[in-house]
Amino acid sequence: MLDPLSPKPSQTEMAEFKDGSRRLFNAFARRRSRRGHRRLRQQRSQTRLRIEAVVSGSFSLPFACRVSWQHSILTAVSTALPAMAADFQSAKFSWVGSAYTLTSTALIPWTANLASSFGRRATLFGSLLLFATGSAVVGSARSMEVVILDFVVYQSEILVVDLVPLADRGAFFAIIGAVWALASAIGPPIGGALASAAAWRRLFYLNIPLTGIVSLLVLLFLRVKAPQTKFKSKIALIDYYNIVFVPGATATILVLTWGGETYPWASYKVLVPLIGGVLAMGLFLWLEKGLEHPTIPLDILRHRSSLLGLLTNFLHGIVALAAIYYLNVYFQAVKLATAADAGVHTFSLSFTIAPMAIIAGTSVVVLGKYRLQNIVDWALTVIGFGLTTLLRVHSKLTYLYQNSPTVMGVGLGILYGCLDFPVLAPLKPSQQPHAMEFFGFTHSFGQVLGISLGASILQNELSRHLPPEVVLSHFANAKYAYSAIPDIHLLPELVQLHVRRAFAQSLRMVWIVMIGLSGIAFILSWFIEDVPLTTETDENWGVSEEKVEPTPSETA
């Protein structure tokens, strides 16, 4: 031991001092090294868990939930729908597409509450079970009414809250877009091929094994935090005021499918449920104000960008579904393409939307901005629908491939990757899950309106443009002209030309209305703010952590 009072330490004491100092330094260095190594292993573990969660979200959830299932099956149904209507000899064709999103739209806010009470994973498994059950019943349907009813059953689905910070979410959506690209691209030709072979029912039977695969992938990879409370406590967290909201939203959505098509807009059969539905939803929002954990926190509507984002998202739902559904009608009714060929012809739309969604999401991550993308996208969408109004009976297919669907797909695709950022950026991470559910609600509501509004315009315009003698001799009513699409090529040449022109002129009005709605969204996008993207997540609903066990060298 070195004596501080000694005038000159001996060589032995000096050697002991140096040796002790060296051991102390080495011990300190080893301790810091072990801590750093442990932190590194923890970070790697978290990275691996994040990657697994993203892999699960990018493959399983898009096929199971709204992002991919809805688009792959929805695009397939859009090509098979004329054959389905002809099979049942029904004029209720728009109900199939509307019912596809009917109950999912009404139940989306409630699913946010259920996911908070029982956990994302349990709620997702419940939605997958409903999806498979409804698919089986729809495939065995013997009437259009049963198809409509059971589309409602299997679309009671749930959106899983994102597991990554908003600043990185664009890359996450880019991965989703890669999977969704495949689903949306193969949907139309598969649906068309099955419809051409009079086997459209198999389209729904295919969902059953696919749902099983998805469930297995979710079971293996999706590990997220869940409430660690007793069942009674979970039941107590359910917002039962949704009992008021769901019927109100359902009545309102039903009216949107009836108005101008099944009943006149001024009919009491439309006005009574419409007024009742709006009052019920208003009562629900008033009751929610007194709750500590409301299903739809009104705070998410206080920021201008969030409100404008929801409005443009609603308009996007309208125009996107109108483009997907009624472009197929043009190919089949005007160009006399088979259902399978119509699916192939829409490749210029479906193969454009998904890649542009990937590029858009990546651009938000790189630039940290989203306002300019939204403005440019809506401008392209307006141009795309404008080019579509030029489509005529004798328009060349090369023109179609090179112009309207491609430009439209670029605009709509970029919007798929950018629309959620104006809504979520001004909000705290704890508010974003409910905001995402309300985001899904407004988009689904727009989809219902897009299908039903397009159907109403199409049938009203067909009544104007179809010659009365053609209607009397070949259709029981102008409303049944849609179900006759697969047989238009069998009509006499002159009658066939009249019918094709009537469809082209009627669809032109659909595109004009979509131009107006896209123009409104374009104007609203100018008032969106570029709020900095947060790098935080809600710790209550993150990735489930794995405990990192210390190595033997660390415990020594």
**Residue range 372-381: average pLDDT?**
92
67 neighbors 182 (Cβ within 8 angstroms): no
| 34 contacts: CB under 8 Å, gap ≥ 6 | 553, 554
Q: Report which residue type is found at 266.
A: A
Give 170-204 as a DSSP string: HHHHHHHHHHHHHHHHHHHHHHHHHHHTT-THHHH
Q: What is the pTM of this model?
A: 0.71
Higher pLDDT, 414 or 84: 414
Backbone Cα Rg of the chain: 29
Per residue in 55-65, pLDDT (tens digit) is 444 444 444 44
Look up the CATH number of the domain holding residue 176: 1.20.1250.20
Q: Could you report the per-residue pLDDT of 64-91, keeping only the tens digit for each?
A: 444 455 555 555 665 566 656 555 555 4
Residue 443's alpha-carbon distances to 67, 70, 79, 93, 437, in angstroms, are 11, 12, 22, 21, 10
Q: Are 103 and 215 in contact (CB under 8 A)?
A: no
Higher-confidence position of 203 and 373: 373
Mean residue pLDDT of the chain comes to 70
pLDDT at 287: 83
Residue 252 domain-assigned?
Answer: no
- Binned at pLDDT 50, 70 and 90, residue 33 comes out as low
Number of domains in the chain: 1
Of the pLDDT bands very low, low, confident and very high (cuts 50, 70, 90), residue 142 is: low
Kindly report, residue by residue over 166-223, the tens digit of the pLDDT: 655 566 665 665 565 556 556 666 666 666 555 666 667 777 787 777 777 777 766 6
Lowest mean pLDDT among 171-180, 219-228, 513-522: 171-180
DSSP E strands, 29-71: none
- Confidence check: pLDDT of 21 > 90: no
Domain assignment present for residue 552? The answer is no
What integer is the mean pLDDT of 113-128? Answer: 69
Q: How far apart are CA 239 and CA 116, in angstroms?
A: 10
Q: Is residue 304 part of a domain?
A: yes
Q: Which domain holds residue 339?
A: 38-239+293-530
> Span 306-327, mean pLDDT?
89
